[in-house]
A and B are shown apart, each in its own frame.
Chain A
Amino acid sequence: MPNFANPTTFLTWTSRLLPWLIALTSVLFGLGLYLSWFIAPPDYQQGETVRIMYLHVPAAWLSMFIYFTMASAALGTLVWRHPLADAAQKAAAPLGAGFTFLCLVTGSLWGKPMWGTWWVWDARLTSVLVLFLIYLGLVALWQTIEDSGKAARAAAILTLVGAVNIPIIKFSVDWWNTLHQPASVFRLGGPAIASSMLWPLIIMALAFTSLFMTLHLGAIRNEILRRRLHRLAMLAASGAAATYPAAKAEAVS
């Protein structure tokens, strides 16, 4: 069993794994998009617009899944102070913001023909919007703190505080929404979904997850390489690399 926590081992193994993941993502997306655009039936009420669901729902799942991934990495940062966990956290935050944004945009595009408006203050939409704000706050925190170790620990604390708060926010937004709920708003997910629509949805969800894993691993690799470049640049600037080749070797390993 190779030691995956070692950044060098991680780089070697992910460089072998990534082409397969990219291939898997492409196949899943090809299959999923074909099924959802050409095979899946149009909804008897919503018509063709129901096809937005195959992008919208997986993006919504991913927005939660990525936060869970990020919170796990945050625990790794705080408990073991592991640099790989730092990189995983940092790479996940913009990806989470991206998928959450995709979920909001597709939801808005879906809402216009269905509800007649781009945006309603529905409980789910509002919760996802707050999640988006939390992601953006985390990205801002990463960008503001220069020292990468400190930034990782600060972001980890905020991520965990957010993890405790997200259920509370979800509960309060639901409560607030039932208080103000206009009766005419169309509710999602009322009847059980037909299997002819379920299969494309499942394949699209797998495709999205595979896409996230590909992008996440790639971003972690970039982060590791960026740190090594930074350390080499610092060493070169201080003249240590030229004088002590051993220091250079240590920085690379």
Chain B
Amino acid sequence: MNAKLETDAHRTSLRPVTALFRRELAIGRRIGGGASFGILFFLSLVVLIPFAIGPDLALLSRIAPAILWIAALLASLLGLDRLFQADQEDGSLDLLRTSRMPLELIILVKCAAHWLLSGLPLVVAAPVFGLMLALPGSQIAPLVFSLLVGTPALTFIGAIGAALTVSLRRGGLLLSILILPLCIPVLIFGVAAAANDPMVGFKTPFLILCGLSLIAFVGAPIAAAAALRQSLD
């Protein structure tokens, strides 16, 4: 009896979270064209690079991890300016704030849904694009794992910028200016892990990348919630 009550209480407390998560996924799929836009942008960036530096496969294969990481960084910035803005415009953000769910948790759920629709597809598509850039086979797994761990950090850091620029009409450009310097550590360790350099290895930069992601996971929702509160007051 007691156990049943406890599980019931547990279920009720999680229900708003799953409801919000499902709502975010549904909206994201409907308006943004889902994952396809992000991947298309990612592909366009990857296609541009050989035109700029020439079709030299040896050179391309050497800088492929860097190209893919830069492309992922730019692609993950794409929809971020609408992360809170759409909800602020139609008033649903105010409704969410009146709920008993802490704003930090709301942001966490929104970021998770955003990453699932924009970050994860990039991770899945990365090996194929890697082959186009002549990425050696031994580097494909490090690349995928570094992107899998690193792109959530980009989304979380981006959420701070999205919250700061929520009430600005053309916040997208400012968001990029504010966020890109903060993304440098993730880029450094992401590329280092993906490059899988024989001198450095995979493990050290990968573990530091995990640490950066965890810091962003904890810190960014707090900062983003503070930024949202001040701009909506």
Structural contact, A164 and B177, CB atoms closer than 8 A: no
In the complex with contacts A168-B185, A179-B192, A179-B200, A137-B178 CB distance below 8 A: yes
* Interface residues as binary, B144-161 with A (CB distance below 8 Å gives 1, 0 otherwise): 000000000000000010
Residue A76, interface by CB 8 Å: no
Q: Please give, as numbers and ranges, the residues of chain A lying within 8 Å of B208 by CB-CB distance.
A: 172, 175
B230 CB-CB contact with A under 8 Å: yes
Which residues of B are at the interface with A, using a C-beta cutoff of 8 A? Answer: 160, 164-165, 167-168, 174, 177-178, 180-182, 184-185, 188-189, 192, 197, 199-200, 208, 212, 215, 219, 223, 226-227, 230-231, 233
Leading 7 A-B pairs by shortest Cβ distance:
A172-B185, A153-B230, A133-B181, A176-B188, A137-B178, A172-B188, A157-B227
Q: Report whether B231 and A154 are in contact in the complex, using a CB–CB cutoff of 8 Å.
A: yes
Contact of B178 among A150, A158, A179 (CB under 8 A): A158
Q: Contacts of B230 on A, CB cut-off 8 Å?
A: 150, 153-154, 157
0/1 per residue, A11-44, Cβ < 8 Å to B?
A: 0000000000000000000000000000000000
Residue of B168, B181, B223 near A169 (CB, 8 A) is B181
Report how many A-B pairs have Cβ atoms within 8 Å: 76
Which of chain B's residues have a CB closer than 8 A to the CB of A168? 185, 212, 215
Q: Given A137-B177, A150-B231, A176-B188, A162–B164 Cβ distance below 8 Å?
A: no
9 A-B pairs within 8 Å (CB atoms) are namely A140-B174, A150-B167, A161-B160, A161-B219, A164-B219, A168-B215, A169-B184, A175-B189, A176-B188
Specify which chain B residues have a CB less than 8 angstroms from the CB of A130 in the assembled complex: 181, 184
Label chain A's interface by main secondary structure.
helix
Docked pose: A171 CA to B184 CA in angstroms: 11
Indicate which residue in B164, B185, B188, B197 contacts A141 across the interface (CB closer than 8 Å).
B164
The CA-CA distance from A253 to B167 in the complex, in Å, is 31
With contacts A150-B230, A168-B212, A179-B192 known, is A158 near B184, CB below 8 A? no
Closest-by-CB residue of B relative to A129 is B181
Instruction: Tell me if A140 and B177 are in contact (CB < 8 A).
Output: yes
* Contacting pair A158 B164 (CB below 8 A): yes
B227 touches A144 (CB 8 A): no
| In-complex Cβ contact of A161 among B189, B223, B231, B233 (8 A) | B223
Against B, the Cβ 8 Å flags (1 = close, 0 = not) of A157-191 are 11011101100110111011001000000000000
Nearest chain A CB to B188 CB, angstrom units: 5
Q: Taking A137-B177, A137-B178, A179-B200 as contacts, is the C-beta distance between A157 and B185 under 8 angstroms?
A: no
Residues in A neighbouring B212, C-beta threshold 8 A: 168
Query: Which residues from chain A contact B215 at a C-beta distance below 8 Å?
Result: 168
- Least Cβ distance of A69 to chain B in Å? 20
Determine the distance from Cα of A137 to Cα of B184 in the docked complex, in whole angstroms: 15
In the complex, A198→B200 CA distance in Å?
A: 39
Kindly identify which residue among A144, A165, A173 contacts B182, using a CB–CB cutoff of 8 Å: A165
Contacts of B223 in A (CB 8 A): 157, 160-161
Closest chain B CB from A133 CB (angstroms): 4
The distance from the CB of A95 to the nearest CB of chain B, in whole angstroms, is 19
Q: How far is the CB of A26 from chain B (nearest CB, A)?
A: 36
Q: Shortest beta-carbon distance, A115 to chain B, in Å?
A: 23
- Residues of chain A within 8 A (CB-CB) of B174 are 140-141, 144
Please determine whether A169 and B185 come into contact, CB atoms closer than 8 angstroms.
Answer: yes
